[in-house]
Amino acid sequence: MKPFASFVPLRFDFAMTHSEPFCNQEPSAASLADLMLRLGLRLAVAESCTGGWLAKVVTDLAGSSAWLDRGFVTYSNAAKQEMLGVRADTLAAYGAVSEAVVAEMAIGALSRSAAQVAVAISGVAGPGGGSPEKPVGTVCLAWAWPEGRVETRRFHFDGDRDAVRRCSVQAAIDGLVERLGHLV
| Residue boundaries of the structural domains of the chain | 9-181
% of the chain at pLDDT higher than 70 = 88
Q: Which residues pair with 157 in a beta bridge?
A: 20
- pTM for the whole structure: 0.89
Q: Which alpha helices (H) appear in the chain, and where do they start and end?
A: 30-39, 53-59, 77-84, 88-94, 99-111, 161-181
The residue among 2, 12, 1 whose CA lies nearest residue 104 is 12
- The per-residue pLDDT for range 4-21, each reduced to its tens digit, is 333 344 344 444 444 455
CATH class of 9-181: alpha beta
- The per-residue pLDDT for range 102-146, each reduced to its tens digit, is 999 999 999 999 999 999 999 999 999 999 999 999 999 999 998
